[in-house]
Amino acid sequence: MTRESVTTAMRRALAIADRGPVTGVNPRVGCVILSPAGDLLAEGWHRGAGTPHAEVAALSALANPADAVGATAVVSLEPCNHHGRTGPCSEALIAAGIAEVVYSVDDPGEHSGGGAERLRSAGVEVTGGVLAAEGGAFLRVWLTAERAERPFVTLKWASSLDGRAAAADGTSQWITGTAARHHVHERRAASDAIIVGTGTVLADDPSLTARGEAGELTAHQPVPVVIGERAVPANARIRQHPQPLVAVGHHDLAAAMRQLFDSGIRHAFVEGGPTLASAFVAAGLVDEYLVYLAPTLLGGPRLSIGEIGVGTLADARRLRIDSVEQLGDDLVVIARPIPPHTHDTTPQTHPADARHERTT
């Protein structure tokens, strides 16, 4: 088996993994099975919770199950080694007679990891780390959540070019244009949960649904989460959301994120006002920044971000720009914190009561 053929197969495994659902507790995984001569025998990917994992799907796609004997399985993630809703992929590969397993990224799960060791103990040749950078980038959201045992957090805000979330009188609907707002709904639909503070709920009465260009609900709806001690009104629009409301009756963000992780949330989309946004930043809980910039100037005090614990330039929260895209007249900037995280990660406890850019 040549390195080139294995690399090509791994790129194929990553490509078909992308067909799996972007939301949910499970990672997107692809598997390609090669003959000893390097020919493609079968492929499969994970289609969602409760369905066969990629390795089992690929084995099931073989024209003749006996073809697995002596073959190589190329997988985008280390085969799992635990009994969940399906059996361990490591055991399925061993039982099928696979002779070699090549994977891209180690499974960091406390219960699901260890597949490589199990395979080696059964005499299977195992190679990890093939296209690890590409595999890690593809699984960044899921890997971050699993390693930190909290959801991957995308923080979104919209502002004028001078960083204001609203005019001096509080008006903010709409700072950005239609294309930017459609983009927000696409990102909501790709998340497991959408988070706001009680201040946003009481001031704006948002629905927090993901909607298409015609206003229709998308197939997947993020779970609505409200953080704050004040009660959500019985007649609030958020209570009509297709998903049940999760009301977090405190301001301990670290505890709230662990609660969401334990409930199966792996990607959280944080909206709302500057107070909640600033609390997430100050707590060191933001993995991705999604900032929409409108070509307008507002001036005044209503900044998109408030106090985040930076007293001097040396303490600034440094970011890396991943992309900049024009959406109509607006820009969307996607950035991430530059590792390592050396700032204090103590959760902030002040109320999330502010809002400026209206959330619907």
Name the residue ranges covered by the structural domains of the chain.
3-145, 150-337
The answer to whether 73 and 101 have CB atoms below 8 angstroms apart is yes
How many other C-beta atoms lie within 10 A of the C-beta of residue 87?
Answer: 15
Q: What are the structure tokens assigned to 143, written together?
A: 């890997």
What residues contact 41, with CB distance under 8 A and at least 6 apart?
Answer: 33, 34, 35, 62, 63, 67, 68, 71
Give the per-residue pLDDT at 348: 39
**Chain-centre distance for alpha carbon 131:** 21
Annotated catalytic residue within 4, 43, 55, 91: 55
3-145 CATH fold: Cytidine Deaminase; domain 2 (3.40.140)
| E strands present in 252-337 | 267-270, 288-294, 319-327, 330-337
> In whole angstroms, how far apart are CA 255 and each of 142, 252, 281, 303?
19, 5, 15, 27
- 341 has a pLDDT exceeding 80: no
55 is known as an active-site residue? yes
Q: What are the structure tokens assigned to 39, written together?
A: 């020919």
Angle at 151 between CA 146 and CA 153, to 5 degrees: 125
- 85 has a pLDDT exceeding 70: no
Average pLDDT value for residue range 181-191: 96
Digit-coded pLDDT (tens) for 255-297: 999 999 999 999 999 997 899 999 999 999 999 999 999 999 9
Nearest to 357 by CA among 292, 296, 306: 292
Q: What's the CATH class of domain 150-337? A: alpha beta
CA distance 10 to 2: 12
